[in-house]
Amino acid sequence: MPEIFDERHALGLDERDPLPTLRGEFHMPCAGDGEQAYFVGNSLGLQPRGARAHVEEVLDTWAEVAVEGHFRGHSAWMPYHELVRDGLARVLGAQPREVVAMNSLTANLHFMMVSFYRPTPERPAILVEAGAFPTDRYAVESQIRFHGFDPATDLIEVAPDQPGGTLSMAAIERAIALHGPRLALVLWPGVQYRTGQAFDLAEIARLAHAQGASCGFDLAHAAGNLELALHDSGADFAVWCHYKYMNSGPGAVGGCFVHERHARSDRPRFAGWWGHEAASRFRMGPEFVPTPGAEGWQQSNPPILALAPLRASLELFDRAGMAALRGKSLRLTGYLRGLVEQRLAGVLEILTPAAPGGHGSQLSLRVAGGRERGRSLFEYLEADGVLGDWREPDVIRIAPAPLYNTHHDVLRFARAVEAWRDRTP
Ligand SMILES: *Cc1c(COP(=O)(O)O)cnc(C)c1O
């Protein structure tokens, strides 16, 4: 048996890892008598044990002092969104004034496009990747129609040009150059959800801006996964959710970034009272005066109960640090790649690019032999306490999350695949 398939080897890697696991800070789902090997943190991150206390604090305050909760104590509801601001800025590589937790991802995407998609007859188009997450496609298509333009000509989709359905930087560059004069907006993912491919965001923003287009990022699969430098990327805006790698619970409040240079923008926006300058908000005047920065795009007073778990999550990100987490993520995913390449190459084809800059935590694995075999493997894994997720027609996504997954979890996956192969004709 090659050494890396040895259980002692995996346990040794965990013991010697420079970033000890924070698994104990999470509720690990059970499978059979033990813990599940949970690789679906890219879909719904696990619950930090600290989340309950933050949610209960809100419930207690509400029960005990009701409306006074807006003003009482160091987690008063009035400035509650500020409690997550600095932690979020650190995770995203942004300045505190550039980020805000509000709404949900798709809603934020629409609100950002109100300000940063300003089409004209000469420049009406939005450029996206072909195979974008459906909500992103629906959002941009509906925005194009809303402005009276036609998605048939004004929604430009860049097709994958590499094996496994990934995109080369050259293909992105060619498309931006080809359509440049007609582009109003380039909208790109930080990590592609299906293939796990990560992109050079600063370069994409540079290319878009060089053509006179705005640039926005969907960081649903990148926030809490990659070590982002969102401010330095120069993007005009970004949106993300907090229920994937950010571990803040189902339907958690979304996130939004507006670059510092737009802090006092007079671009059109859909305004609401919570975006009004805080100092004069409660004069309740008729004229909207936006708070400088991303908070000026808020509409409503935030859902405090839904923000509470994010505090617990950010405490853990701060404890580990994004750079250390990314380091561990590369080690875990590298180990996974090694195991697959060494013994499972006949069963699984890795679709995700191998270069460190080309991926985050997730590897997308195509099962050889088609859908039926793929389903058989997927179901075998699940019954064996190893949970990934299934993408039609034949892909299993495995995302070791560095906050709570271990080398030992990764080995459990590889061994289960091996056991399935050895018993499947
Ligand atoms: C998860 C995900 C979403 C989810 O959108 P919601 O508005 O939070 O439901 C959107 N886009 C991408 C790329 C995603 O991965």
For residues 184 and 102, state if they share a domain: yes
Range of the domain at 359: 7-35+322-423
In a domain, 387, yes or no: yes
Ligand 1 pocket member 246 (CB < 6 A): no
- Looking at the DSSP assignment, which residues form a beta bridge with residue 197? 359
In a domain, 397, yes or no: yes
DSSP state of 29: P
As a whole number, the mean pLDDT across the chain is 96
In a domain, 45, yes or no: no
> Of 396, 288, 294, 425, which is closest to residue 42 (Cα–Cα)?
396
Task: For residue 193, give the ligand 1 atom closest to its CA.
Answer: 15
Determine which residue's CA is closest to atom 15 belonging to ligand 1: 220
Both structure tokens of 229 = 């430098």
Ligand 1 pocket member 135 (CB < 6 A): yes
- Range of lowest pLDDT (42-56, 74-88, 178-192, 202-216): 74-88
Task: For residue 133, give the ligand 1 atom closest to its CA.
Answer: 13
For residues 301 and 172, state if they share a domain: yes
Q: Distance between CA atoms of 95 and 89, rounded to whole angstroms?
A: 6
Ligand 1 centroid–CA 70 distance in Å is 30
For residues 138 and 150, state if they share a domain: yes
In a domain, 60, yes or no: yes
Q: What is the CATH number of the domain that holds 64?
A: 3.40.640.10
For residues 89 and 145, state if they share a domain: yes
Both structure tokens of 146 = 């809303």
Ligand 1 pocket member 193 (CB < 6 A): yes
43, 135, 221, 247, best to mutate for ligand 1 pocket (most atoms within 8 Å of CB): 135
In a domain, 43, yes or no: no
For residues 279 and 169, state if they share a domain: yes
> Of 271, 281, 256, which is closest to residue 103 (Cα–Cα)?
256
Q: Average pLDDT of 140-157?
A: 98
Q: Average pLDDT of 263-290?
A: 91
The number of distinct structural domains making up the chain is 2
Ligand 1 centroid–CA 80 distance in Å is 24
Both structure tokens of 267 = 């671009």
Residue 424 confidence (pLDDT): 80
Ligand 1 centroid–CA 365 distance in Å is 21
* Dihedral sign, Cα of residue 273, residue 274, residue 276, residue 278: positive
pTM for the structure as a whole:
0.97
- Residue 76 scores a pLDDT above 60: yes
| Amino acid (1-letter code) at residue 155 | L
- Residue 96 scores a pLDDT above 60: yes
For residues 59 and 198, state if they share a domain: yes
Q: Distance between CA atoms of 158 and 176, rounded to whole angstroms?
A: 9
Q: Distance between CA atoms of 239 and 254, rounded to whole angstroms?
A: 7
Residue 278 confidence (pLDDT): 87
Determine which residue's CA is closest to atom 4 belonging to ligand 1: 105
Ligand 1 pocket member 136 (CB < 6 A): yes
In a domain, 231, yes or no: yes
> Of 53, 108, 391, 98, which is closest to residue 240 (Cα–Cα)?
108
Both structure tokens of 389 = 């997720």
**Buried residues in 234-243 as b, exposed as e (16+ CB within 10 A):** bbbbbbbbbb
Ligand 1 centroid–CA 137 distance in Å is 11
User: Which phi and psi angles does 217 have, rounded to 5°?
Assistant: -120, 140
Q: What is the CATH number of the domain that holds 352?
A: 3.90.1150.10
In a domain, 161, yes or no: yes
Determine which residue's CA is closest to atom 6 belonging to ligand 1: 105
For residues 335 and 266, state if they share a domain: no
Largest Cα–Cα distance in the chain? 74
Q: Given 318, 352, 373, which residue is the final one in a domain?
A: 318
Q: Distance between CA atoms of 256 and 235, rounded to whole angstroms?
A: 12
Contact 249, 385 (CB under 8 A): no
- Looking at the DSSP assignment, which residues form a beta bridge with residue 40? 399
Residue 97 confidence (pLDDT): 98
Both structure tokens of 196 = 């796990």
Ligand 1 centroid–CA 314 distance in Å is 20
Q: Average pLDDT of 93-121?
A: 98
- Looking at the DSSP assignment, which residues form a beta bridge with residue 237? 216, 258
Residue 1 confidence (pLDDT): 52
Task: Please provide the DSSP assignment of 259-283 as one string.
Answer: -GGGTT--S-----GGGB-HHHHTT
For residues 210 and 275, state if they share a domain: yes
Q: Given 300, 318, 336, which residue is the final one in a domain?
A: 318
- Looking at the DSSP assignment, which residues form a beta bridge with residue 240? 255
For residues 111 and 96, state if they share a domain: yes
In a domain, 42, yes or no: no
For residues 256 and 183, state if they share a domain: yes
Q: Distance between CA atoms of 76 and 281, rounded to whole angstroms?
A: 17
Task: For residue 218, give the ligand 1 atom closest to its CA.
Answer: 13
3-class secondary-structure state, position 335: helix
Higher local confidence (pLDDT), 73 or 252: 252
HSE (side-chain half, CA atoms, 13 Å) at 6 = 8
40, 44, 106, best to mutate for ligand 1 pocket (most atoms within 8 Å of CB): 106
> Of 132, 123, 125, 117, which is closest to residue 154 (Cα–Cα)?
125
- Residue 176 scores a pLDDT above 80: yes
Contact 237, 265 (CB under 8 A): no
Ligand 1 pocket member 197 (CB < 6 A): no
Residue 332 confidence (pLDDT): 98
Ligand 1 pocket member 133 (CB < 6 A): yes
Edge to edge, the sheet with strand 183-189 lists 99-101, 255-258, 237-240, 214-218, 183-189, 125-129, 155-158
- Residue 70 scores a pLDDT above 60: yes
**What is the band of 111 on the pLDDT scale with cuts at 50, 70, 90?**
very high
Q: Quote the percentage of the chain above a pLDDT of 90.
A: 95
For residues 21 and 63, state if they share a domain: no
Q: Given 318, 345, 378, which residue is the final one in a domain?
A: 318
Alpha-helical runs (H) found in 195-244: 201-210, 230-233
Beta strands in 281-373 (DSSP E): 348-350, 363-367
Both structure tokens of 1 = 């048996």
Residues recorded for the chain: 425
- Residue 425 scores a pLDDT above 80: no
For residues 277 and 143, state if they share a domain: yes
